[in-house]
C-alpha cells in the first residue's frame, strides 16, 4: 500500500516541474523507481496523471515522462494589497483559465471587507462555471500581521465576535479549503518555487508596493520567526520624521518609501505643474502606474520620486544585509514596474551604508516573475498545503 504522503510528494513535484520521468522523480524524492512507478499508476487511475511523451536520451531507451492532467483540478489565487484585490483561477498546468481580474477593496475600511472578499471570489468562480469539487483550494496573500497557524489576520478582515478565525470563516463561506499568508511571504514563496530563489538557501525578497514588505527564505524555507511576524521591513524606524505610520509608530520606512507615499507626494507637490508628464486622473493605482510610465520616459519629477523611494529602501536593505548576510536579495512587487530606474539608487545606498566585505557577497536582482508573482505564490500556498487523500 502506497502512503498518501508519497503520492502527495509526486503530485507536488509534477506540479512544480510540470514534466518528469520515473527516474527523475526517484532522484528528487529518494524513492526507488518501482515505488515511483506504482505511485504514477495509482495517480493515473485517479485521473490526475497522464503520459506526456518521452524525454531526450543520450543513448538507449528514451524514458517515458508524466505530467498532471491540467483540467482535473483548479486553484483559486487571490493577491491582496491595501487597495486592490486580484483573483485568478489556474489549472494544474499553471495556466490561467480566465484572465486575472482586479477589484477595488480598501482594507482600511474594515467594515464589510471580509464579506466583500467572499463575494469577489464567488463572483469569479461562478463566472467560470467550474465545479467546486474540482477546486483544490483558495490561496490568499494579504497584508497585515498574520498568524498562519491560528489563521488570523490581526490587521485586516475581521470576522466578528464568533469563535471562527478568518481562515475557518472563509472556508465555510466559500465551501473550499483556504490558506492565508502575508502578501510578502507569498511573493517569497513564488520566488522559492518558480523564480530566482530556487536552489538558493538564504534569500530576502522585498515586496515594493503600497508598503515595503519582506519575505524571508532561510535555509531554503520560508522564515516567519517565533510568532509568525518576521519580515516587517516597512516598520523599521529609519528616520526622525513625525509622520504617523498605520502601525501607530513614527519614523517607519513605510512613511518615507512606498508607492502610497510617492503617489501622495505627487498629488501634493507635482499635480498642477504644466511640465509634468504624470497623468493624475484616476485612482491611486492608476496614478502610480502613470508615475512609473512617466519615469521610464524620462520625466524628471517622476524619476525624482522613484529615486528617493529606492534610495531609502536601499538604506533599509543595508541594515538587513548586516543582520542576515543573505546570498541574494530579490526586488519584487508592484513597484518593480520601474525596474532598472530603481536599481541605481538602491545600489548607491548599499555602497554608502554597507560594510564592503558584506555587500560583496550579496547579489541584488529584480524578480523575473513580474506582476504574476503574488498570484503564483498564492497558488503555491495551496499546493504546499494540499492534503492528498485519494485511495
Averaged pLDDT for residues 94-105: 92
- CATH code of the domain made up of 4-68: 1.10.10.10
Element (H, E) at 329: strand 328-332
Residue 201 DSSP one-character state? S
Find all residues with CB under 8 Å of 48, minimum gap 6, and list them. 11, 68, 69, 72, 73, 92, 390
> Which CATH architecture is the domain 196-368 placed in?
2-Layer Sandwich (3.30)
Q: Which residues pair with 212 in a beta bridge?
A: 208
pLDDT value of residue 235: 87
Q: What is the helix (H) or strand (E) element at residue 181, kind and residue range?
A: strand 178-182
Is it the case that residue 134 has pLDDT exceeding 80?
Answer: yes
Task: Say if residue 225's pLDDT is above 60.
Answer: yes
Considering only CA atoms, which of 213, 215, 239, 203 is closest in space to residue 312? 239
Asked if residue 145 has pLDDT above 50, the reply is yes
C-alpha grid cell, residue 307: 529615486
pTM value surpassing 0.85: yes
CA-to-CA dists, residue 279 to 21, 209, 270, 300, 308, angstroms: 52, 19, 11, 14, 20
Task: With residue 292 as reference, give the H or E element that holds it.
Answer: helix 284-296
pLDDT at 389 over 60: no
Tell me the sheet residues that pair with 126: none
**What's the fold here for domain 72-186+375-384?**
Nucleotidyltransferase; domain 5 (3.30.420)
Residue 340 has a CB neighbour count (10 Å cut-off) of: 9
Residue 376: is its pLDDT beyond 70? yes
**Domain limits of the chain?**
4-68, 72-186+375-384, 196-368
Fold agreement between 72-186+375-384 and 196-368: yes
So what's the pLDDT on residue 60?
65
Tell me if 298 sits within 8 A of 334, measured CB to CB: no
Amino acid at each position: 500500500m502506497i502512503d498518501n504522503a508519497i503520492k502527495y510528494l509526486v503530485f507536488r513535484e509534477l506540479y512544480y516541474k510540470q514534466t518528469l520521468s520515473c527516474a527523475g522523480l526517484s532522484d528528487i524524492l529518494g524513492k526507488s523507481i518501482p515505488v515511483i512507478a506504482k505511485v504514477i499508476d495509482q495517480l493515473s487511475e485517479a485521473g490526475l496523471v497522464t503520459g506526456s511523451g518521452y524525454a531526450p536520451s543520450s543513448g538507449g531507451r528514451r524514458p517515458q515522462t508524466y505530467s498532471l492532467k491540467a483540467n482535473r483540478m483548479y486553484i483559486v489565487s487571490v493577491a491582496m494589497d491595501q487597495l486592490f484585490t486580484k483573483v485568478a483561477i489556474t489549472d494544474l498546468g499553471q495556466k490561467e483559465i480566465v484572465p486575472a481580474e482586479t477589484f477595488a477593496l480598501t482594507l482600511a475600511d474594515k467594515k464589510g471587507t471580509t464579506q466583500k472578499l467572499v463575494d469577489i471570489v464567488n463572483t469569479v468562480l461562478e463566472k467560470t462555471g467550474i465545479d467546486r469539487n474540482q477546486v483544490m483550494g483558495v490561496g490568499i496573500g494579504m497584508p497585515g500581521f498574520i498568524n498562519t497557524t491560528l489563521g488570523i489576520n490581526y490587521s485586516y478582515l475581521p470576522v466578528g465576535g464568533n469563535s471562527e478565525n478568518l481562515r475557518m470563516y472563509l472556508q465555510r463561506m466559500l465551501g473550499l479549503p483556504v490558506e492565508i499568508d502575508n502578501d510578502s511571504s507569498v511573493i517569497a514563496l513564488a520566488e522559492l518555487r518558480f523564480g530566482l530563489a530556487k536552489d538558493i538557501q538564504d534569500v530576502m525578497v522585498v515586496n515594493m508596493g503600497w508598503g515595503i514588505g519582506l519575505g524571508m527564505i532561510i535555509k531554503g524555507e520560508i522564515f516567519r520567526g517565533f510568532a509568525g511576524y518576521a519580515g516587517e521591513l516597512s516598520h523599521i524606524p529609519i528616520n526622525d520624521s513625525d509622520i504617523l505610520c498605520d502601525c501607530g509608530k513614527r519614523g517607519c520606512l513605510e512613511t518615507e518609501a512606498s508607492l502610497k507615499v510617492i503617489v501622495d507626494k505627487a498629488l501634493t507637490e507635482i499635480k498642477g505643474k504644466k511640465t509634468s508628464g504624470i497623468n493624475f486622473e484616476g485612482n491611486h493605482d492608476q496614478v502610480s502606474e502613470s508615475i512609473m510610465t512617466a519615469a521610464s520616459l524620462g520625466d524628471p519629477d517622476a524619476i525624482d520620486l522613484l529615486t528617493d523611494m529606492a534610495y531609502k529602501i536601499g538604506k533599509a536593505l543595508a541594515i538587513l544585509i548586516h543582520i542576515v548576510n543573505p546570498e541574494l536579495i530579490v526586488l519584487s512587487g508592484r513597484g518593480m514596474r520601474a525596474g532598472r530606474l530603481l536599481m541605481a539608487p538602491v545600489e548607491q545606498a548599499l555602497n554608502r551604508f554597507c560594510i564592503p566585505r558584506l555587500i560583496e557577497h550579496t547579489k541584488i536582482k529584480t524578480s523575473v516573475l513580474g506582476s504574476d508573482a503574488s498570484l503564483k505564490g498564492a497558488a503555491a500556498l495551496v499546493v504546499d498545503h494540499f492534503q492528498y487523500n485519494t485511495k
